[in-house]
Amino acid sequence: MIDQGREDGKMTTSEQNRPIPRIPKGFKDTFADDVVARRTMIETIRGVYERYGFEPLETSAVEYVEVLGKFLPESDTPEGGIFAFDDDGEWNALRYDLTAPLARVVAQYGNQLPMPFRRYQVGPVWRREKPDPGRFREFIQFDIDTVGTASMAADAEVCAVVAESLEALGLQRGNYIIRVNNRKVLNGVLEAIGLSFVDPEVTKARHLAVFRAIDKLDRVGVDGVRELLGEGRRDPSGDFTAGAQLDTRQADLVLQFVQSGGHDRAVVCAQLAELVEKSRVGREGVQELQQIHELLEVMGFDSDRVAFDPSIVRGLEYYTGPVFEATLTFESADQEGRRRPFGSVAGGGRYDDLVQRFTGTLVPATGFSIGVDRLLTALKTRGGAETAAWQGPVVVTIMDPHRFPEYQRMVTDLRTAGVAAELYLGAGNMRRQLQYADKRKAPIAVIAGEDEFARNEVSLKDLRLGRELAQTIQNRQEWLERQPAQVAVAREDLVSKIREILARAASSA
Amino acid sequence: MIDQGREDGKMTTSEQNRPIPRIPKGFKDTFADDVVARRTMIETIRGVYERYGFEPLETSAVEYVEVLGKFLPESDTPEGGIFAFDDDGEWNALRYDLTAPLARVVAQYGNQLPMPFRRYQVGPVWRREKPDPGRFREFIQFDIDTVGTASMAADAEVCAVVAESLEALGLQRGNYIIRVNNRKVLNGVLEAIGLSFVDPEVTKARHLAVFRAIDKLDRVGVDGVRELLGEGRRDPSGDFTAGAQLDTRQADLVLQFVQSGGHDRAVVCAQLAELVEKSRVGREGVQELQQIHELLEVMGFDSDRVAFDPSIVRGLEYYTGPVFEATLTFESADQEGRRRPFGSVAGGGRYDDLVQRFTGTLVPATGFSIGVDRLLTALKTRGGAETAAWQGPVVVTIMDPHRFPEYQRMVTDLRTAGVAAELYLGAGNMRRQLQYADKRKAPIAVIAGEDEFARNEVSLKDLRLGRELAQTIQNRQEWLERQPAQVAVAREDLVSKIREILARAASSA
């Protein structure tokens, strides 16, 4: 695959016309190991979701822009951030999340759907954002939602199902926490400090400023949030962020609220009730949290798995009640190499107004969305967690090209017996063939030359064992004499012997 | 979900602003049954592909337009047919197939990949074509390719792996056939009749006209092809298609070639050898078919699974050697209701020039692409074939809302035991709840009211059995008296009894 080019070093016309083999910025290719790890992870989550009675849905990648609407999560430029294209005078776009398509489906199919409609969907979403290292424009979300019920049981349930999914993936309790807050309680606090709805637009903007300040707690700490609630904050780089312009008393109350999370949900509820006692909507929010708490108790989910944390805000404008976030608490190195908690891998909340956008009728809904690629990174970062990897096939090498049909027959025998196997189809010598087998992560290479054929035998090279032994045997001479990872077996025992080696490897893994 | 609207019947401003919940033309939503059927189908094929030693790859949905190039399959407007959008001055587009991205990956990653590179990829592709009933702008392809070897063993293998996949899906031999031809033999025939390469462009256009005529054999029959090879053909609707302008002798030879397929691959090879004996490229093509034949013999694939059929052309311009098509031979009704063979569900061939486009260096490649949605339709059409369907969860109904935690505990008990279960979270009465359970395809509904709680029992309604019995029991009175599908069990036996019913249903299914 080396391009010889012209001898005079100049490009020919055809070279000039050649496209560069490259992928657009913010997109990536996923190779075997990651495909398998991701697929296995998705299967595990899917198993839990189905056990909870949720059914699959797959919507199209392309939607009308008006269907996606202005509800673009976690974006300050609500109309931007999508890949849109004109199609015969109508604007289409790649879906930005899986929630807007769900709302569209519920509005479109109406009572053809079972209601409540409990569905999960996993698939890519696309965001036209500035690509950063580790921040992609195409990524996979795994959503679970219940549409058509205002019952807090639905909210409790999606929290429980995500907690159970994380544990099914091998995360221990204490390594993750589902953190729950309620927008109504937040609004109650803002009412309590006098930021009420006189001019809805102005109020909304100030609310948003407060929410953003709270949302930065993890990053800037309590003092940072205090600055952001007040005049504003200058970060170490010198950049200034304008504040929410609260006075000291107001900021104190907000901070008291934000810090009232804790390990006992009932205690948090009691504290919050006191803080928002004068606000109707605030009391309603606390009552909802109380209901979620009681339902989680019945389901066996204590505060060590699902906790109440008033610092959880979530960026989405459309949340109307409970909001959730799944956080991984173990540390990993961030992009600057600092050790810090891994952070959020899933988020969600109740969005009672989203279907109403289409129909004018209230259809309450709640759901949780897992960032699949981010969670996969987390599981890999943690080491010990069970991410699956690609296992290559047995590679039958070709020592004597004239014997091709006999090699092919070995492959066929193995495949017929259910063993993944392939014939080397390249043009390399034995060394290249074994390198190839290694690159393919083959467990075993089958080798047969004149000697083997004469004795009606084949040699099996245990590549996995070979890789292990290569680390313990120091002496090259010893290696050559013992050839520890290679055995000769009768041709007729090819399949049974390979099965034996594979079984041994599987049980020791 | 009924929109009350304004009492005066006029639309309010907010109604006027409401987006219509609709999906763009040519796109579709896939609900639980089809998601499960498709997923199961994909898993089955994947199992076979991995047994043959192919590894997974997932590329991005978005590519640079220049990477997709002009190689748009089966399209007369090579530069059209894609969903493209400008991104900061560079044209991106949704992938049109999975072959162009593979060529890009091989060119981009070069020898970081094992070579030959044997990969499968399954995922959606997008085509901006006029949507028709049954013709979508987003559909799933399942591709398997070997890049980096000119060996006919790779071609034989992809034919074998697709045949084996179709059988793994429950298709019997005789219900499908993999049909193989070779572009080199086609070119040899054209050389033999004097359509040789004097002016490459003119020759190419005439070759294409001949290929198109041959490609219509299934639709217009031998006489129709004869017309298309000559002056042209007027179809029953009056539309005239210009012909390839061959004279009678030329057309006869092409027709002789086209009809030389048959049940014995060796015989077909002998006939073709005779037809193209004067053409070097033709002889090369026949030799390749001969090799494929011998390799398939070794692998145990006879002419009843993989046959040679010179009428197979395939639309793709970029094929350079063997071309393949998987055809289902059982009949189904077409859109006009006529019974006819189901037709093609997969196609492929050798494309030795595709990577060279990027690198200037020859990297031979061959592969097969299954149309997943089309194959799924075929399996469903055929009846008897094993398409899986969604199985709903056990639904615990709510007769007494004050007992909510007790119902929730039943659900938790079931889930903990690994039984898919859910609590009814809507607001309907018992009749509505049972309708809901039916709609969700629940196998069992759990019912508990005052009586049951007093006796520490629950009632289990076997909804599957109920649906069956409803068809045999004629008399409503008998139904009510026997209540055959409902049993009362002790609360503590809830899980074990439900497991028993589910096991019984599974074994009788």
Residue in B12, B51, B403 to test binding to A, most A beta-carbons within 10 Å: B51
In chain A, the residue whose alpha carbon lies closest to the alpha carbon of B105 is A21
Chain A nearest CA to B34, separation (Å) = 9
Query: In angstroms, how far is CA A93 from the centroid of its own chain?
Result: 22
pLDDT above 90: percentage of residues in chain B: 64
Exposure of B218 in the CB half-sphere (CA atoms within 13 A): 15
Which residues of chain A are within 8 Å of residue B5 when distances are taken between CB atoms?
360
In chain B, the residue whose alpha carbon lies closest to the alpha carbon of A161 is B415
pLDDT score for A331? 83
What pTM was computed for the model? Answer: 0.91
**ipTM of the complex model:** 0.90
Pick from A21, A32, A108: CB nearest B56: A32
In chain A, the residue whose alpha carbon lies closest to the alpha carbon of B18 is A358
In chain A, the residue whose alpha carbon lies closest to the alpha carbon of B31 is A57
In chain A, the residue whose alpha carbon lies closest to the alpha carbon of B33 is A56
B170: helix, coil or strand?
coil
Pick from B36, B94, B298: CB nearest A56: B36
Q: Which residues in chain A are classed under CATH 3.40.50.800?
A: 394-508
Q: Do A390 and B56 count as a contact with CB atoms less than 8 A apart?
A: yes
Residue A345 has pLDDT above 90, yes or no: yes
pLDDT score for B340? 79
Residue in A408, A416, A499 to test binding to B, most B beta-carbons within 10 Å: A408
CB A389 within 8 A of CB A33: yes
In chain B, the residue whose alpha carbon lies closest to the alpha carbon of A110 is B1
Residue B119 has pLDDT above 80, yes or no: yes
pLDDT score for A13? 44
Nearest to B307 by CA among B179, B186, B181: B179
Q: Do A114 and B439 count as a contact with CB atoms less than 8 A apart?
A: yes
pLDDT score for B478? 65
Could you tell me how many helices (H) and strands (E) chain B has, helices first?
19, 18
How many Å apart are CA A23 and CA B465, to the nearest integer?
Answer: 54
Which residues of chain B are within 8 Å of residue A299 when distances are taken between CB atoms?
408, 412
* Residue B174 near chain A (CB below 8 Å): no
Provide mean pLDDT across the span B261-269.
89
How many Å apart are CA B306 and CA B348, to the nearest integer?
Answer: 14
Q: What is the maximal distance between C-alpha atoms in chain B? A: 95
| Residues 6+ positions from B435 with CB-CB distance below 8 Å | B428
pLDDT score for B509? 59
| Residues 6+ positions from A139 with CB-CB distance below 8 Å | A124, A125, A127, A371, A372, A373, A374
Using CB atoms and an 8 Å cut-off, which of residues 129-148 of chain A contact chain B? Answer: 137-138, 146, 148
Nearest to A499 by CA among A415, A435, A397: A415
Instruction: Tell me the pLDDT tens digit for each residue of B158-181.
Output: 999 999 999 999 999 999 999 999
Residue A195 has pLDDT above 50, yes or no: yes
β-pair partners for B139: B125
- Superfamily of chain region A32-181+280-381: Bira Bifunctional Protein; Domain 2 (3.30.930.10)
Q: Which residues in chain A are classed under CATH 3.30.930.10?
A: 32-181+280-381
Q: What is the maximal distance between C-alpha atoms in chain A? A: 95
Q: Do B24 and A87 count as a contact with CB atoms less than 8 A apart?
A: yes
- pLDDT-derived band at B482 (thresholds 50, 70, 90) equals low
* Residue A33 near chain B (CB below 8 Å): no
Pairing of strands B486-490, B240-242: unpaired
Kindly report the average pLDDT of chain A as a whole number.
88
Q: How many CB atoms lie under 10 A from the CB of residue B14? A: 10
How many Å apart are CA A149 and CA B68, to the nearest integer?
Answer: 46
Give me the CATH topology for the region B394-508.
Answer: Rossmann fold (3.40.50)
Using CB atoms and an 8 Å cut-off, which of residues 241-300 of chain A contact chain B? Answer: 294-295, 298-300
How many Å apart are CA A288 and CA A270, to the nearest integer?
Answer: 13
Residue B221 has pLDDT above 50, yes or no: yes
B173: helix, coil or strand?
coil
Q: How many residues does chain A have?
A: 509
* Cis peptide upstream of residue A116 (ω within 30 degrees of 0): yes
Q: Do A55 and B390 count as a contact with CB atoms less than 8 A apart?
A: yes
Chain B nearest CA to A214, separation (Å) = 32
Pick from A24, A53, A427: CB nearest B92: A24
Which residues of chain A are within 8 Å of residue B45 when distances are taken between CB atoms?
none
Q: Do A408 and B137 count as a contact with CB atoms less than 8 A apart?
A: no
pLDDT score for A3? 36
* Residue A405 near chain B (CB below 8 Å): yes
pLDDT score for B142? 98
* Residue A393 near chain B (CB below 8 Å): yes
Q: Do A153 and B423 count as a contact with CB atoms less than 8 A apart?
A: yes
Pick from B24, B32, B146: CB nearest A92: B24
Residue B474 has pLDDT above 70, yes or no: no
pLDDT score for B237? 87
Instruction: Tell me the pLDDT tens digit for each residue of A362-412.
Output: 999 999 999 999 999 998 887 555 678 899 999 999 999 999 999 999 999
Q: Do B87 and A24 count as a contact with CB atoms less than 8 A apart?
A: yes
Pick from A54, A85, A153: CB nearest B84: A85
Query: In angstroms, how far is CA B1 from the centroid of its own chain?
Result: 36
pLDDT score for B466? 78
* Residue A339 near chain B (CB below 8 Å): no
Q: How many residues does chain B have?
A: 509
From residue A386, how far is each of A43, A166, A186, A315, A376 by CA, in Å? Answer: 13, 11, 38, 31, 10
* Residue A46 near chain B (CB below 8 Å): no
Using CB atoms and an 8 Å cut-off, which of residues 80-99 of chain A contact chain B? Answer: 83-85, 87, 90, 92, 94
How many Å apart are CA A458 and CA A369, to the nearest integer?
Answer: 52
Which residues of chain B are within 8 Å of residue A426 when distances are taken between CB atoms?
115-116, 148-149
Pick from A114, A154, A361: CB nearest B1: A361
Instruction: Tell me the pLDDT tens digit for each residue of B440-473.
Output: 999 999 999 999 999 999 999 999 887 777 666 6
What is the count of residue pairs from A and B with beta carbons less than 8 Å apart? Answer: 292
Q: Do B58 and A415 count as a contact with CB atoms less than 8 A apart?
A: no
Chain B nearest CA to A216, separation (Å) = 31
Instruction: Tell me the pLDDT tens digit for each residue of B31-90.
Output: 999 999 999 999 999 999 999 999 999 999 999 988 987 544 444 343 568 888 888 778
- pLDDT-derived band at A73 (thresholds 50, 70, 90) equals very low
In chain A, the residue whose alpha carbon lies closest to the alpha carbon of B357 is A18
- pLDDT-derived band at A509 (thresholds 50, 70, 90) equals low
Residue A273 has pLDDT above 90, yes or no: yes
Please report which helix (H) or strand (E) contains residue B54, including its range.
Answer: none
How many Å apart are CA A217 and CA A225, to the nearest integer?
Answer: 6
Pick from A57, A358, A395: CB nearest B35: A57
Instruction: Tell me the pLDDT tens digit for each residue of A312-343.
Output: 987 667 889 999 999 999 887 776 777 878 88
Nearest 5°: the CA angle B15, B16, B19 is 85
Question: What ranges in B216-279 are assigned the alpha helix state H?
Answer: 217-229, 248-258, 265-275
Residue A7 has pLDDT above 70, yes or no: no
Exposure of B117 in the CB half-sphere (CA atoms within 13 A): 26
Q: How many CB atoms lie under 10 A from the CB of residue A256? A: 13
